[in-house]
Amino acid sequence: MNDNRRVINAKPTKELFIYMLVRDIPLIRAIVDLVDNSVDGATRLQSNENYEGLWIKIFTSKDFFRIEDNCGGITVKDAEEYAFKFGRANDAEATPKSIGRFGIGMKRAFFKIGQKFKVESTTHNSEFLISEDVEEWKKKDEWTFEFSQIQEYDNNKSSETGTKILIEKLHESVSEDLRLDNFLSQLKQELTIAYTLKLKKGLSISINNEMIRPTSLNFRTSDKIKVAKFEKEYKYFGSHEIDTPVHVSLYAGVSDRNLNEGGWYVFCNERMVLEADQTEITGWGTKNGFPKYHADFAFFRGYAFFESNDAAYLPWTTTKTGIDYDSPIYKSIKQEIYKLTASILIFLRKMAEEKSRVERGEISESLLEQAYDQTSVHSIFEADTSTTFEIPEQSEIPPRQRRANIQYSKPIEEIELVKELLNLSSNKDVGETTFDYYLNNEG
């Protein structure tokens, strides 16, 4: 019997690996992944959640893409053992409340954007430089990156810490996109959506020296109209207990009427993954939820915050641009979202009905509309909250009169004569005016 073992080398080619890694990710998404790494660095530095003084700067042109930050840097050890690996190592130390999950975002962005990259990073006790030409790297058998420069210190030597990434030899399509004002506007919008809470807490993000401004997260409240709030900590993920619970906070209420801004906003570890959602994902137009979103509901605002020290338990998609609808945590919270939303939609429907009756002269005033008009704007975390949304005092609505149609026909010449005599323009006006005349004079 022949004992010689023969094996087949099934290691993927680098060309195939890179192609599979970048084929389904848009350029904007790849850039945001790089920003995620810087934001995680800021989170590691500022456990008190005050990001004043920390910044992330992005610079673009047709020839290069550059991102710099002062968010702590990458140590030589982390670069060697974790940061440049394809995938997150099992023994990698997790950043509490991080937004990075799989350990591929930085490398994927390099390959997506260009053919040459350089990473410089400085911490208090080390600094390094890695410079790589992707085309040359693909020719090597080794799946490694080499330090071009490296220094480690026993004592804190540098007070300026951070990371600089430069990507050159841009792919042709990337070079074209980075020259377009429309593309840069979309990128700014994506960054605004993603990092609104971090920006509000002092983190500075800019593109070509233009600052990104946060989105307002406000409610309108008063003594009569408050914000409904729900909180719960989930210690089970499906059927098994987890060491890092997921804390969920839901806020729902009313704000300024805006058709595009109404809906649910969902955050995972302060990263916005859904903005003004008006779809079935958050219950709109579902059998067990509430009606489809429409103009009467444009006052509605809902904010959902999911937080965990382990990002793997949060209910977001791998691209961090949506909700994983099958997440056990999200399935558990859906009914609470429905309950909070439903009570506010009842209020908005009743307010719309009162307003309509005022316009028709059926009632003299709308108490619900007056209650709304007396509210003032407050930031989400400063607004008065209650466990439920209480509807203020409503106007007394008289019962609607039972009505019926009257229909008869007359010669056109006679109808036109009556129109002329009564100075009317339509057949409907003729019918109603002659009916009222008879009722007032003969009835």
Burial of 41 (0-12, 13-18, 19+ CB in 10 A): buried
pLDDT in tens, the chain (443 residues): 556 677 887 778 888 888 888 888 899 999 999 999 999 999 988 866 789 999 999 999 999 999 999 999 998 988 888 888 877 655 556 667 777 655 678 889 999 999 999 999 999 889 999 999 999 999 888 888 899 999 888 776 667 899 999 999 999 999 999 999 999 999 999 999 999 999 999 999 999 999 999 988 999 999 999 999 999 999 978 778 888 899 999 999 999 999 999 999 999 999 999 999 999 999 999 887 789 999 999 999 999 999 998 888 999 987 788 899 889 999 999 999 999 999 999 999 999 999 999 998 888 999 999 999 999 999 998 998 999 999 999 988 777 667 788 888 999 999 999 888 888 888 988 888 888 888 888 76
With contact defined as beta carbons under 8 Å apart, do 124 and 72 qualify? no
Q: Identify the CA nearest to 184 among candidates 299, 58, 301, 292.
A: 58
Give the span between the Cα atoms of 157 and 365, in whole angstroms. Answer: 71
Q: Identify the CA nearest to 272 among candidates 239, 320, 343, 234.
A: 320
Give the span between the Cα atoms of 371 and 31, in whole angstroms. Answer: 45
Could you tell me the residue ranges of all domains in the chain? 14-211, 218-386, 412-442
Domain 14-211's class? alpha beta
CATH entry, 218-386, from 1.10.3470, 1.10.1760, 3.10.450, 3.30.230: 3.30.230
With contact defined as beta carbons under 8 Å apart, do 170 and 114 qualify? yes
For residue 228, list its beta bridge partners: 252, 386
Burial of 158 (0-12, 13-18, 19+ CB in 10 A): middle
3-class state of residue 273 by DSSP: strand
pTM for the structure as a whole? 0.81
Q: How many CB atoms lie within 10 A of CB 341?
A: 24
Look up residue 296 and give its DSSP letter.
G
Q: Can you give the length of the chain in residues?
A: 443
Q: Identify the CA nearest to 47 among candidates 97, 11, 90.
A: 97
Q: Identify the CA nearest to 281 among candidates 238, 341, 224, 230.
A: 341
With contact defined as beta carbons under 8 Å apart, do 379 and 221 qualify? no
